[in-house]
Structure 1
C-alpha cells in the first residue's frame, strides 16, 4: 500500500520559484534603466558598461570607443540642419562678463609681465593687409579673420594668445561645427566635408581658448575651418599648435596669424559648396616685450610629416610673397624689414633655444 500525498508534486514543481517570460522582461528593463541612470543618460550605456568591464579585467577600452573619443577624427554633423544661426542675443550678458574678465586679465598681465611698444597700441595692429584681393573682415570675440568666398576659406585668422587662455575648464567634446552667421555670403557647411577624406581642420585651434567655453565654441564656426589631410591635422599641425601654446606660456603672450595659401586652381570638395583644398598652411608669430621683439614664420605642406618643426621655419617675407599679405604693417618699416627677412637659423636660435 502506497501513501498518496495530499498535494501534487507535479503542480508543486510548476508553482516553484521560476522566472517567467514577463519577469525576465521586467528585470531587463530595470537593468537598462539603471545603466542609463548610472551613465548619465548616455545613448550607449551598454557600450559604456562593457568598456568599464573591460577596464576592470585589464583589457582596456574597445577599439571603436578609442576611435570615437579621438578629437581629431572627422566628425559628422548632428541630426539638425546645416543652418547658420546667431544666438548671441540670448547670451549677451555672458559674453559681456567674459569679455570684461578677459580684458581685465589681459591688462593685468600686460602691466605686470610685459611692456608694450607704442605701435602695439594702434587699432588693429595685429591684422594683416592684403596686397591683392581682400576678403570679408569678420570679428569674433576670440579672433578676427578675413573670409574669401570664392574659396570658402579664410585667407587669415589673427588673435593675441595670452598665457592664461591656454588653460581652463572649456571642453571641446560637446561642440559642433556650424556655419558662421556673420559671413554675408555664407560659409561652407559641415556636410561639405562628409566622406571627403579631409578633416575639418581648425585655423585658430580650440586648444588656444580653454579659458572660455564661448570663445572655444567660436572656433567651431566654419569660417575658421579648412580642409586638412587627417595625418597632417592630427600630426605635424597639432604639434605646431602645442608648441605655440608652450611659447605663449613661456613668453606671457604672443600674436598669432595663421591661414592657408590660397590660389586659383586648387582642388575642391563639397556638394553644396566648392571648398578649396589648400596645399600649404602658414603661421606667423610675433613676440613683443619692450625692448625685446622677435618674429618667426612656419610654412607646411598639407600632408603628413615626421620632420622636426625647425625644418618648416621660413622667412616671413617668403610667406608674404606666397599669400599676397602684409603681416604687421603697422610696425616701423625698418623694423618690419629686419624681422621679416631673418633666415631660418637665426629664428631657430631665437625661438627654440630659450
Structure 2
C-alpha cells in the first residue's frame, strides 16, 4: 500500500519571483552599462572588471606590483631585449672598481661638448668633426641623439649604422632600464617603426646601441629605446651571442678607457619583413666595428654574425673590416689617413684577435 499525495506533482509550480529570459537579458545589459560607466568609458569594461576580480581573488598581479611594467613587452617574453647586466662584462676588473664618481660632474654636457675624458692620447685626426661616424652623403637622414648618431634607412625602417664613442665611465652608474619603454623616434622625419610592428612577430626589438652602454645617464638610456635604434633579432641571437658581444665590448671599453663603436644590420633588397604598420626588414647578418686609439697605438676589429643562436666563441665571428665594408657598402672611419686606414681594415682576423683578446 502506497501513500498517494492529494496534489499532483507533475503540475506543481514553485511560488515566488521567477526571472524570465527577457528579464535576464535586460539585467545583463544594464550590468554592462554600469561597468562601462564605472570604468570611465573604457572600451573593454568586461576585461577591466575581470582583471579586477582576478586581483581580488589572487589570480593576477596586484596594481602595486605593476608599477614600472613595460606595456610593450606584454604578453611577449619578459626579456624582450638582451640584458645589459655589467656583472659579466669585464674579466680584468670588477665592475665596482669603476663607480659613477669617476665620471665627470656633468657627463651629458661633457659628451655634447665633444670632450674626451678617457685620458688616452688622441691622434690629430680624432679631433675632426664627426670622426666616429662612417661616411655619409648630405641627402642621408642622419639622426643625432645625445649618446649616439645613426643613419636611418626608411626603406628598411631601421638604421644601417649606429656610431658612438664608448668611455669607461659610461658603462657604470644607476640608470635603470626597467623605467624605460620602447617608443617611436620623434627625430626621424620619415617616421620610424613603432613597438607594435614587433608584437607577436617572433623577433625581439634588438638594440643596436645597447642600453647598457649608457648606464651613467638615464636620459641617454631612455633615448636608446627609440625604435630607430631597434632591429628585428631572433631571440636566441639577441639574448645569446649578441648579448655576449655587447658585454665583451663594454669589457674592452673599461679595460682600454674608451673605444669607438659602429654597429648595425646588413641591409639589402629582398629581406623578409615584419610589422603591422610598417614593413620592417629582418636582417640576416649584423656587424660591429670597433676602433681603439691611444697615440701612437691604434687597432681595429670587426665582427659579422648571423641572426641566429650560436654557441661558437666570439673569436670565430671576427672578419676583416674590408669584409664588412664589402657587405654593407659603408666606409668606416673615413677620416683616418688612407694608408693607415687600408692597413687597419685589411688586417687578418688572426692578427686582430691576438690584439684584442688578451
Q: TM-score range by the shorter chain?
A: 0.7 to 0.9
Structure 1 residue 129: deviation in Å?
Answer: 1.3
Structure 1 residue 98: deviation in Å?
Answer: 4.9
The answer on 1:72 being equivalent to 2:81 is yes
Q: How does 1:96-135 map to 2 (within 5 A)?
A: 98-102=107-111, 107=116, 109-110=117-118, 113-130=119-136, 135=140
Larger fraction in helix: 1
CA displacement 1:72-102 (0-9 Å, x = unmatched)? 389xxxxxxxxxxxxxxxxxxxxx9552255
Runs of 4+ in 1 over 6 A off after TM superposition: none
Contact kept, 8 Å, 1:135 with 1:149, in 2: the verdict is no
Q: Which of the residues 222, 247, 254 maps onto 2:252?
A: 247
CA displacement 1:100-150 (0-9 Å, x = unmatched)? 25568954x34xx3110000000001110158x974100000000000000
CA root-mean-square deviation: 2.7
**1:272 match:** 277
In the superposition, the TM-score normalised over structure 1's length comes to: 0.72
**1:201 match:** 206
Structure 1 residue 43: deviation in Å?
Answer: 3.5
> What SS is found at the alignment partner of 2:184?
coil
Contact kept, 8 Å, 1:135 with 1:155, in 2: the verdict is no
Q: 1:277 to 1:105 in 2, by over 3 A?
A: closer
* Aligned-partner Cα distance in 1 for 2:156–2:63: 42
* Aligned-partner Cα distance in 2 for 1:164–1:295: 21
Tell me how many residue pairs correspond in the alignment.
Answer: 273
Structure 2: which 5+ runs fail to align? 1-54, 68-75, 84-104
* Aligned-partner Cα distance in 2 for 1:142–1:331: 22
**2:263 match:** 258
* Aligned-partner Cα distance in 2 for 1:165–1:312: 26
**1:214 match:** 219
* Aligned-partner Cα distance in 2 for 1:134–1:301: 30
Q: Which of the residues 147, 171, 177 maps onto 2:176?
A: 171
Contact kept, 8 Å, 1:71 with 1:173, in 2: the verdict is no
Q: How does 1:43-54 map to 2 (within 5 A)?
A: 43=66
The answer on 1:146 being equivalent to 2:169 is no
Structure 1: which 5+ runs fail to align? 1-31, 45-66, 75-95
Structure 1 residue 174: deviation in Å?
Answer: 1.9
